Structure 1
């Protein structure tokens, strides 16, 4: 398979879902360009070069406000890489949500993203969700056309299992370079499935076992959304925690103090220590919290095996089997 050259050396990504105001699809409600600019600057300050979008984020306004920053900042586009997603459609034809990976839809949505982002191309296009009606030949045709036109440089997926990726890859002329999944210390299905083989508790977890191994074997970068546990350990009041969650929040704070770093760095470092090469997506729009993630790569290097397991066992509320 062709070597993945689309994903930058940085192990951290910035997720732009929180930019652009509310979730209405009215483009005139785009707000707070200053917040977007500050978030982008903070991300770049900690070494982030890949910025993650989707056509549906904030009804398209996340891309639009990012595009405003790009247009107002000469030279910025050449210093970063852009990734966007397509495949989810919202509030159309009486449906709150449905999926569409038809050829026409992929081309239409990518062109819309490029217009909002004020750019001629995206470095990576992700197929946002599996579409049961997807015809791989249509995906191949759409992606081939977009790549031939220079509008897309690499293709990835999101929320797909190993079997789904392999089925799609069989029809593609370009390698799948990334798979974006929800992975965190809170959302641990991906990890539990690895140790619960031949164990009765395996039925409690739906994550498709073997997906991480497949991605590692084929050079597919694992991108982790929700990597900061959606603020669960750092923002939720204690009364909303289960006993295991409260103990985990306390342990994270204690470990951060001992190591002279932040809880955010510990959370992300825990993910990054996994040998699958997980690249966390930082989703907060708060510039200070973005900068608080700076120590994550160092935490991944220095966290001991015992510390890594202690965090996991504490989060799961019981020992590993």
Structure 2
């Protein structure tokens, strides 16, 4: 997939979370956010077929129709595998091969494009047959409908199980990772501790991805503004103050500091920012265009501040 320091997550585009139609105002708001991303050097756009019940993709497709040259300047990524409740039905996961193919065709129609650059399998489906999945992905690739594949919210063993019958490499794994959601990191240093036994993150997943060329994408990297706008705990407030100080020291924005903290990790983590506010997108510009400037000590200071207690 295209190299990018930051990905723009399109979950906030398309209006309300219902099955009603999108509006011209929704398209205008999406255009403002997308233009802010492009101005900031962000050219990878992340979708999912369920975002706003498909309206996020549809509104983005309208933008591509308005500006035909835009498609060639960007990388389009979407996800499938979650089925939202419909009527009396229940929400569920669905990675049957036939369902994957159908969902891709529907996403292509909404996005008004003839191919996806990357398709991620959104969540693990316990009923999925890896051979069936591999057959569907291979078919989509041979038809030129999808160029690369990855996963989302999966552990190392789950990725390995899907990869085994698949000749095409899985290139990405999207996980919730932030200065607030740190279990992926805490698990590294709390092996053989009582506290570590209570962490839910599967140990070895980050290492597996690095060793196998699976790019880590971090969803929720700004943690809903906990360290820039809306601190909720004493630890949040202490970390937010440190973020402010470091932003002044490095001549950048608090949002960039929070993203730099993720990017400074040697795993090469790519944040997926999900804000639809143009001014907040622009606040991430330095993270999209520059190497993280945090020192070793500053990185640890942020970690300890967000933890609210010393490292073990």
TM over 0.5: yes
Q: In the alignment, is residue 191 of structure 1 matched against residue 182 of structure 2? A: no
Deviations 1:30-82 (A, max 9, x none): 75211111111111111111100000000100000000000000210000010
What secondary structure is seen at the aligned counterpart in 2 of 1:284?
A: coil
1:98 matched to which residue of 2?
A: 92
Residues 209-241 of structure 1 show CA distances to partners (whole Å, capped at 9, x for unaligned) of 1101000001110000001112222232x5xx2
> Which consecutive segments of 4 or more residues in structure 1 shift more than 6 A?
none
Question: What TM-score, normalized by structure 1, do the two folds share?
Answer: 0.94
Aligned to 2:105: 111
Q: What is the match of residue 170 of structure 2?
A: 176
* Shift of residue 94, structure 1, vs aligned partner: 3.4
- The separation in 1 between residues aligned to 2:38 and 2:243, in whole angstroms, is 25
- Residue 17 of structure 2 aligns with which residue? 23
User: Structure 2 matches for 1:284-295, cutoff 5 A?
Assistant: 284-295=275-286
Name the counterpart of 1:88.
82
Report Cα offsets for 1:160-197 as digits up to 9, x if no partner.
00000001100112100000000000000000000000
- Whole-angstrom distance in 2 between the partners of 1:108 and 1:170: 23
Q: In structure 1, what is the Cα distance between the partners aligned to 2:88 and 2:199?
A: 32
- Mind listing any 5+ residue stretches in structure 1 that lack a counterpart? 1-5
CA distance in 2, matches of 1:258, 1:96: 51
* 1:9 CA drift (Å): 2.2
Query: For this pair of structures, how many residues does the alignment match?
Result: 312
List runs of 5+ in structure 2 lacking aligned partners: none
CA contact (8 A) 2:148 2:171 kept: yes
Partners of 2:288 and 2:65 in 1: CA distance: 31
- How many Å separate the matches in 1 of 2:292 and 2:55? 37
In the alignment, what sits opposite 1:274? 265
Deviation at 1:23, TM superposition (A): 0.6
**C-alpha distance in structure 2 between counterparts of 1:297 and 1:36, whole Å:** 19
Q: Pick the aligned partner of 2:3 from 9, 16, 19.
A: 9
Give yes or no for contact 2:8–2:272 (8 Å, CA) kept in 1: yes
Give the root-mean-square deviation of aligned CA atoms: 1.4
Question: Is contact 2:40–2:289 with CA below 8 Å preserved after alignment?
Answer: no
